[in-house]
Amino acid sequence: MEMILILLLTIPALASALIVLGRKRETIERIHTISSILSFIAAAAIAVMIWRGQAVIQWNLLRADALSAFFAAIITFVGAIAGIYAVGYMRLDESDPGRIRVFYALFQLFVFTMLLAVTTDNLGLMWVAIDGTTLATVFLVTFHDSQTALEAAYKYLMISSVGIAMAFMGTVLMYYAAAARVGEIGLSWTSLISIAAQLDPGVVKLAFVFILIGYGTKAGLAPMHTWLPDTYSEAPAPVSALMSGALSTVGVYALIRFKSVTDITLGTAYTSTWLMRFGLLSLGLAAAFLVSQRNYKRMLAYSSVEHTGIIALGLGFGGYWGTVGALLHLLNHALSKSMLFILSGSILLKYRTTEIRGIRGLLGAAPWTGAAFLCAIVALLGLPPFGLFISEFMIFRAAFEAGSPGYAVAGIAFLALAFAGILASVNAMLYGKPEGDLETSDPLLWHIAPVTLNVILLAGLGLVFPNEVRAFFDQLLLIVGVSH
């Protein structure tokens, strides 16, 4: 059983090394594509094993339970969709072969670091892996080598470094709280959970604040989000898709793990208060920027801040519906946002601009791209029959059950504001007459074809919630300490 866990991490790591050694572009592309698909197959196999009753798959410092499998599946699915699109996208890039090789190698290294973060049982190794995601992506952000991309990468590196330093302090404090009570203890989740009730409440309170700010920076929570709009808008489209759909989920994963420990020590009220505050702040701030956004990639970036805020609210409201809603919303957001950033790459190739006012008549100029973009936006806005409608309904239902109607009313008002801003921008892009004489064609049509899987999954999650899926989510809830 443990071999599949080892394989999950070996595939992207080995692919990154082989790509560095590769010389022919066709060979590099083949290694990259096969690795992206095989990584998802391995993650799916782990999820199926756990769903069928294998509670934990473990080998040395590696450990996968239902929560790890859930996040690994999201990371590898987004990695596969973005990876396939990257091949077509990079073929249109005129960079020298050396830079193309570095792009694919870092792409696979990025996937590896994210997978390591969600499949290790060691708090320290998870911190190292999440720090590694920054080092891998900062060079991907600067791939186009423009002045704005360099500025975005510098901002990303500085703010992420501060955030990861805060997360390190939180990790050290949590370890200190454990060592002060029971002496020498390994830095593993299982050890920490087992003695969580004995930890010093004062130290744990301080540790969680550091953790929330540190890993909240990676997740994109306000006010630590300021790196995100610049980075997402300047990175190549496949990288933006992977960062928005997968990297932000890794930050949420770390928060959930530490929240589980803190809740045992202090009860749920402490973490809930902090998460609701940061969640509502993120939602409100994002809504304010979405009202008058001029750049469609920045619009999608601020939407990521908005939805991270919704996830934080769900975790804060807690209970069965709040936690299930948050996890389901995380999945739905990853599916819709990765799809939108991939399509944004094709829109950029078609119109040669990221300015909303420069995009008109998308449905006529690129029918398949426009139709897919419309579907993804409808899903992102939380309209039926797509999954985000269900997950948002669950979250705000949990707010009333938790006795937090004020947060619910404010959150719904901010959602309505964000809805109006995005709808106005997208309406202008989809309809009207494009400037100049654009021929009707869809750039990279076959490379965006896999996003139909995103649409199918989003619709499926909005229409049905099968018993098998419910059973898997019940396993997730047990891990995070929530009962039905």
What token pair was written down for 394? 């669950």
Residue 329 has pLDDT above 90, yes or no: yes
Share the mean pLDDT of the chain. Answer: 92
pLDDT, residue 439, reads 81
CA distance 70 to 123: 19
Cβ atoms of 265 and 312 closer than 8 Å: no
Answer yes or no: pTM beyond 0.85. Answer: yes
pLDDT, residue 435, reads 74
**Whose CA is closest to 169, among 126, 120, 197, 127?**
127
Radius of gyration of the chain (CA): 21
Tell me: the pLDDT tens digits for 16-28? 999 999 889 899 9
Cβ atoms of 195 and 204 closer than 8 Å: no
Cβ atoms of 282 and 305 closer than 8 Å: yes
Residue indicated by tokens 């807690």: 318
Residue range 38-56: mean pLDDT, rounded:
91
Tell me: the pLDDT tens digits for 420-438? 999 999 998 998 887 777 7
pLDDT, residue 211, reads 96
Tell me: the pLDDT tens digits for 333-371? 999 999 999 999 999 999 988 999 999 999 988 999 999
Residue indicated by tokens 């473990």: 58
Tell me: the pLDDT tens digits for 201-254? 999 999 999 999 999 999 999 999 999 999 999 999 999 999 999 999 999 999
CA distance 359 to 347: 8
- Rounded to 5°, the CA angle 385-335-359 comes to 85
Longest dimension (CA), the chain: 73
CA distance 132 to 44: 24
User: Hey, which residues does 58 pair with through a beta bridge?
Assistant: 63
Residue 292 has pLDDT above 90, yes or no: no
Residue 310 has pLDDT above 80, yes or no: yes
pLDDT, residue 183, reads 61
What token pair was written down for 132? 């590694």
Tell me: the pLDDT tens digits for 61-104? 899 999 999 999 999 999 999 999 999 999 987 777 788 999 99
The amino acid at 336: S
pLDDT, residue 484, reads 63
Cβ atoms of 331 and 461 closer than 8 Å: yes
CA distance 394 to 410: 16
CA distance 434 to 440: 11
Question: How many C-beta atoms lie closer than 10 Å to residue 58's C-beta?
Answer: 16
CA distance 60 to 62: 5
Tell me: the pLDDT tens digits for 170-215? 999 998 888 877 666 667 888 888 888 889 999 999 999 999 999 9
CA distance 208 to 267: 13
* DSSP symbol at 483: -
Residue indicated by tokens 């969600």: 118
CA distance 243 to 235: 9
Q: How far is CA 334 from CA 59, 191, 248, 311, in A?
A: 28, 31, 9, 12
Residue 483 has pLDDT above 80, yes or no: no
3-class secondary structure, 328 = helix
3-class secondary structure, 143 = coil
**Whose CA is closest to 192, among 205, 210, 204?**
204
CA distance 269 to 275: 10
Tell me: the pLDDT tens digits for 109-140? 999 999 999 999 988 899 999 999 998 999 99
DSSP-assigned letters across all residues of 162-173: HHHHHHHHHHHH
